[in-house]
Structure 1
Amino acid sequence: MKKNIKILFNIFYTFYRVIRESKFQTDLELINDSGECYILGNGPSLKYYLEDNLDFLKKQKTFAVNLFVKSEYYEILRPNYYVLADPNFWLFTGLPNKIKVEEDTLSTLNEISRKTSWPLTILIPYAAKKYFAIFFKNHEFIKIVCYNNTVIPVEGFDSLTNYLFKKNLASPRIQNVLIAAIYASINIGFEKINVFGADHSWTKELFVNDDNQVGCVDDHFYHKETPSLRLYTRYDGVNYKMHELLRDFAYMFEGYHILKKYADYKGAKIYNRSKGSFIDAFERKESISNDNI
């Protein structure tokens, strides 16, 4: 009896969240692409794949994320899609410990606007639509497309979850921008999705300083200098506690398993081509040149 009540409650709560938070007309369903794509995460391992496979990737359909535009590879690869998910890209707090982050995100948008001279679709949560519409107003090459990032209960509701994902009314918990990029690539219609630079190995580099602040080594493929140390802060500027950070990491890694189940439902294949990646949800294929793809 209790189990049935819980099921009914979760179904009711799911529809409540969708009706309250989701937009029933996004632009994501209007994009129709297919075949194979390459999602470029910003982890350190991406540098070596770009160096070895640049000519190949220049001919493929690619997704960039976050600060990829700050790399010289942006104008070389000319990605088809750019995915953003972090509220720091459209909500600016002005908090003292957020200044560096917000300067980086604003400069990222400025660089995208300045450097992009080819058709580019930027994929963002619906909450960011107004800001991005103004920021990129009248840009000759940039198109803004929104996705719903409504989080719903998923355990035990595969049929309902897959239906809402397919209709772009909900998504896995987007704890990391790669979750948004993979989710969007599935719904756009790609049948073969290759993920690079998804190292996700931050737990090896976590530290707690003498003030009990949690941080890690901040290393990305585009860094030319020695990676810096950074503290983990939430959007509201409050420092993460270790248990909060590890809980969010758990949500993130669970999200990849949810995407794997959704990809199976849609008949899509996801390959993790990131050397040393901590993601355990997708089939591993680390090379391009020897894969005959």
Structure 2
Amino acid sequence: MNLSQLDLKLLMVFVDVVEARSFTAAAQLRESDVGYISRQIKRLEKELGSVLFNRSTRSLSLTNLGNRTYQDACKIRNISNRIVESARSEKEVIQGLVRITSGAFLGRNYIFSVLERVSNRHPALTIELELDEDKVDIIKKRFDLSVRVWKPKDTNLVAQKLCNFGFLLAATPEFIREHGTPRSLSDLDSLPSVLYARNEHSNKQFSFYDEQGVIRTYHLSSNLLVSDAELIVRTVLGGKRYGLFPSFMVENELKSGKLVQLLPQIKLVSDEGIYLVYPTKSKTKAIEMIIDELKREISFNWDFYFE
């Protein structure tokens, strides 16, 4: 006998009997009668060519085959439920307007491609992505979702951490050939760099762990600062300056060898993360789907840089 010859409906009756612990309780569950349930089990046992229950006037227990059959039948039930759920979800039309905001670098390099794929699959859904480096009042501006590198302090907002990231120093191989490999932080003082600065904040100052694990602070002496992350990456890739980056910003360049991490033995202090922020715990189907897609597609391996 193969699977096509086995009546799967009989298996589900069998599962109900096992989980209800009696023929009578299974009959009540199925709004049927005990005689019908008994006949279904006998049919299943006939198809399998073996008994599934040890029966007595007062107890009902599984045989060895019955126990194995129950475990496999549960797997079949779970698979069947997933198939039905997938088909139901496929029929649901995801529609309406979803407004999302994120930082410019994240939006251009990570978020937009995910949203484009979602919009291709759901033409009735309109997605607006607004790129803005400043902290946005998503309730006041009616955004459904924000993707940020900061955790909101507003208790009216819900924040899920998408992933962690750290900071690192990097330059091109050409830069290293011209200036040599720095051996200590003080070696950076005489080297040209480009760093991030915005709203009176810059990353010229950072913290790191010394050889004893004590947190220290260091000040870089850069004379060129800019508020555009992509411009910093492009400038450093030009080979004339080094930079200090969030790890996700130069992940691909480091893996491809276009950039080399400077002073990899020094671990900078950071417990930063990228957060999905939304105004309420009650999310629409579209927002749930977009959040799931972002979680599936975006991840950064911070430990990669400190192996």
Q: Structures share a fold, TM > 0.5?
A: no
Q: Which has the larger radius of gyration?
A: 2
More strand by share: 2
Q: Give the TM-score normalised by structure 1.
A: 0.22
Q: Give the TM-score normalised by structure 2.
A: 0.21
Q: Which one has more relative contact order, counting CA pairs under 8 Å at least 6 apart?
A: 1
